[in-house]
Chain A
Amino acid sequence: MPDLLIELFSEEIPARMQKRAAEDLKKLVTDGLVEAGLTYAGAGAFATPRRLTLALEGLTAESPTLREERKGPRTDAPEKALAGFLRSTGLTMEQLERRADKKGEVFFAVIEKPGRPAAEIVAEVLEKTIRTFPWPKSMRWGSGSLRWVRPLHSILCILSDEAGAAIVPLAVDGITAGDTTEGHRFMSPGRFSVTSFEDYAAKLKRAYVVLDAEERAETIWADATAQAFAQGLEVVEDQGLLAEVAGLVEWPVVLMGAIGADFLDLPPEVLQTSMKEHQKFFSVRDRSGRIVKYVTVANRETADQGATILAGNGKVLAARLADAKFFWENDLQTVREQGLEGMAAPLANVTFHNKLGSQAERIARIAALAREIAPLVGADADQAEQAARVAKADLSSEMVYEFPELQGVMGGYYARAAGLPDAVANACAAHYQPLGPSDDVPTEPVSVAVALADKIDTLTGFWAIDEKPTGSKDPYALRRAALGVIRLVLVNGIRAGLSNVITSSRDGTDDWGSDLLSFIHDRLKVHLRAEGIRHDVIDACLAMPGNDDLVLLVNRATALQAFLSTEDGENLLQGYKRANNILTAEEKKDGVEYSYGPDPKLAEGEAETTLFAALDTAEPAIATAMQAEDFATAMAEMAKLRAPIDAFFTDVQVNADNAVIRRNRLNLLHRIRATMRQVAVFDAIEG
């Protein structure tokens, strides 16, 4: 059983593409080999900035011989039929077998496809893989026509077993496969040959290449945290950055440097963003949370232990931070001289969307809406309006122009610098939140009011101009905005009808307001499903009045789901369905609605009388509990109906011969349904 080693060596592969490319190489090659009849015991794929590597263990040495039998025409069939069969099988008449069949003698073709050596199959599969590789973006180079992510320089492809290694003969666009590769570009130039994966990995390491990205990432993280720890500091975790940096080096060398004292007063978010975005540095903070140092990862060791590299990086960082400081100070000066309103003034000339006007117009709408929402969330209306008016001022700050991801965060700093109250400053900082299903949800009342107003204005705006999300297209992140509304409402327990809020946000809501509400309901379903609430339970509650009060809706759904998981709940549901089925069928047949109250005087027998009595008790109790929105009590009261309803269906025939009795019983079923529908529309529940 030979092992297969493939390495595709190229100029630097973008860090973000390496992991996926290694996986694609593994999948395409193994799929191709398996399809051609080979099997293998194990596979490992690796990527560095300059190579994709695939190692397969225990590959079968050749594909199995395949034997195929095909039935042909009868031996006395016309010559034409025989000629066609010979053509399609590629055999001569002498090679055919004659076999007896029920209807006489028939030709049979026995075609043997001999097994093929692994090398031949590997060569074919690898060439196809290279020519059709699914890079997100690929290119040509020189005079060739081959496409790769960057120029492909060499192909290493060997099959090795106890007897030794053999190069798989293969050439793609003038690149002939061999058994050699290169180590680190600077630390170990020159090619060397390898005989197996173990030999390859060991020689690479000697040539200053760590093949496995995981190992590089672990080394970087371990070294960085150890260096920080030694100085009583802590590296700010950033998995995305770690993966990226591990894809930029073959031989990671962690270096820690200090941030100039001039810059330590910049907001930590600014330091962190600038260092990460421009320099791919990790931030290092002290015990108080202040960012005081950085970690950079070099791609080589040097005679001066990285001193030159660190000095260079420090200098570049200083220039970057000088820029950031310059923006910060200019922004603060603007705020001091003109206030946040002054900073926001240019937004009058910035288009938010060509059908929705300028940013300034949008801000005015959000401010008016925040004022309306304020009493619903316990916020001071003046503060909510004030916060909304300045919350987006930072969009015209120099800092946010440079680092768009700092929007909001900078607004908070600038609001504080402008001497605005904490509640307003916090709202500026937090009003974009929550940005996703796991982002923090603002809880301070003023922040909540502005965050809600912002998202609702966005939703109603795009609904008004009919730019709704379709399929995978959601360019304005409206699903996220709707989820933001939902989470703000639920986390803060905001008791308000969203319909009113939507209506007061802009004109024309008659035409599309209910469509928007049902969009929000759809997002709510997705959200609640993730929390384990069944979609049919949500539907049962959505069909109830007041469904634009999301807190009520969720409380109801939670209680209903809990109830339905009890034995009483399950049985009561069956009772409801039975009552509803009979009633619906009979109403349809009779063409009338049995909604008169049933008369207890017409009750016959104990089961029916007991059901009347039970309903007499349950109805007011459920009504009272519903009034208090005490769903658990309502459900408990409803549960008491289970036994009487079960007994009723066991002992009593609804469709009695006596028409008066029958009508009364149908009216009784109607009463059961109406009682239970006070709580939820059970029709929607499955099962």
Chain B
Amino acid sequence: MTDTAKPRSFQEIILRLQSYWAGQGCAILQPYDMEVGAGTFHPGTTLRSLGTNAWAAAYVQPSRRPTDGRYGENPNRLQHYYQYQVLIKPSPPNLQELYLGSLKAIGIDAEIHDIRFVEDDWESPTLGAWGLGWEVWCDGMEVSQFTYFQQVGGHDCHPVSGELTYGLERLAIYILGVDHVMDMPFNDPDAPIPLTYGDVFRQTEQEYSRWNFDVANTDVLLKHFEEAEAECAAILAQEHIDPKTGKRIIMAHPAYDQCIKASHVFNLLDARGVISVTERQAYIGRVRALAKMCADAFVLTEAGGHAA
């Protein structure tokens, strides 16, 4: 993409990011096919930041935060939104420059904008993960999160991964100069059938807000949580050697899917307001325990750096 003019639509920003990071040598992954709260949950970040193998990936990840639902009315709060995620391990020395290059690619010119790296340490209690870095400000607006992972799933990261997370809607609202997310052009405004973000998502925001807040069956959800937790442990309790094939197959990823599921169910229960302050910590601890078990298992696999 050589177009240096400002992007004109939400999807153009995504396409330019994809093309920029592909150009920097990242594997462009597809979104993970499960409900997650943030791009970090994608195994392409969580699991791949563990172990010694080098990695470079970028992808869009639809993310869900049930408590942020506003029936599509708030100008920038959504219960379903997109994150753009980049993970490079080991973090290259010029990661800040690479990142600034990506801003340029989507039309943010550092010659006329004020770009700042403001301290913001990242922590995910549910993933047992933390890192140091910044939120990146453009003219006073947070446009990305920039983190050097220090620990994931309770494991120290060696080597350290550099993670970049762009909140795509917020970034796009800013670049496209619209006031409300729903008014933002999704495809090219000159297309035969121009669609706004609202055309695509207003109705779903309403539907999910209602379901998240008032309808989701909490008894069923509680049961799902317990089941996912049990399944995760059961998967990881299996012998490393598969009795059928005789091969060493540690099922870190299927187990991690259950961890993701438990985490999302917890978010839904939280939105339904059935989790008290004290219970909250206990649930977070339970999800963290799953994440840790999955991390422990992953580092025993080939992708996790285990030498056969």
Contacts and interface: CB of A to CB of B under 8 A. Distances in A.
A14 B133 CA distance: 9
B138 interface: yes
Given A140-B150, A141-B91, A141-B160, 10 more contacts: A11-B96, A15-B119, A137-B121, A142-B159, A150-B133, A151-B93, A300-B114, A302-B111, A311-B139, A315-B139
Contact of A150 (B114, B132, B138): B132
A139 interface: yes
Nearest to B131: A139
Contact of A142 (B93, B121, B133): B93
A328 to B, nearest CB: 16
Contact of B111 (A15, A186, A279, A350): A186
Nearest to B75: A319
A16 interface: yes
Nearest to A140: B160
A400 interface: no
Given A137-B121, A139-B131, A150-B132, A308 B139 contact: yes
Contacts of A138: 132
Contacts of A313: 139-141
Nearest to A11: B96
Contacts of B75: 319, 322
Nearest to A14: B119
Interface of B: 75-76, 90-93, 96, 110-119, 121, 131-134, 138-141, 148, 150, 157-160, 162, 174, 276-278
A279 B117 CA distance: 13
Contacts of A149: 132
Contact of A351 (B96, B140, B162, B277): B277
Contacts of A139: 131-132, 148, 150, 160
A317 interface: yes
25 contacts: A11-B96, A12-B116, A12-B117, A12-B119, A12-B134, A137-B121, A139-B131, A139-B148, A141-B148, A143-B160, A150-B132, A299-B114, A302-B112, A303-B111, A303-B112, A304-B112, A308-B113, A309-B113, A312-B113, A313-B139, A313-B141, A315-B139, A316-B140, A319-B76, A351-B277
B302 to A, nearest CB: 20
A279 B137 CA distance: 10
Contacts of B115: 186, 299
A113 interface: no
B119 A299 contact: no
B281 to A, nearest CB: 12
A322 to B, nearest CB: 7
Q: Return the 8 tightest CB-CB contacts between A and B, nearest first.
A: A312-B139, A14-B119, A12-B117, A313-B140, A143-B159, A298-B114, A139-B132, A316-B141
A354 B277 CA distance: 11
A137 B131 CA distance: 10
Interface string A237-257: 000000000001100000000
Contact of B114 (A140, A303, A309, A319): A309
A16 B138 CA distance: 20
Given A12-B117, A354-B278, A312 B138 contact: yes
A151 B147 CA distance: 11
A300 B157 CA distance: 35
Contact of B132 (A137, A186, A354): A137
Interface string A280-301: 0100000000000000101110
A495 interface: no
Contacts of B114: 298-300, 309, 312
Nearest to A255: B114
A14 B111 CA distance: 23
A151 B114 CA distance: 22
A656 to B, nearest CB: 76
A406 to B, nearest CB: 21
A186 B92 CA distance: 20
Q: Which of A138, A142, A281, A354 has the most CB of B within 10 A?
A: A142
Contacts of B138: 312
A153 B91 CA distance: 13
A150 B276 CA distance: 37
A142 B92 contact: yes
A322 B179 CA distance: 11
A139 B158 CA distance: 12
Given A143-B159, A316-B140, A153 B116 contact: no
Contacts of B121: 137
A497 B150 CA distance: 56
Nearest to A302: B112
Contacts of B162: 141
Nearest to B140: A313
Contacts of B132: 137-139, 149-150
A359 to B, nearest CB: 12
A300 B132 CA distance: 25
A404 B273 CA distance: 21
A314 to B, nearest CB: 9
Given A142-B92, A142-B93, A303-B112, A248 B139 contact: no
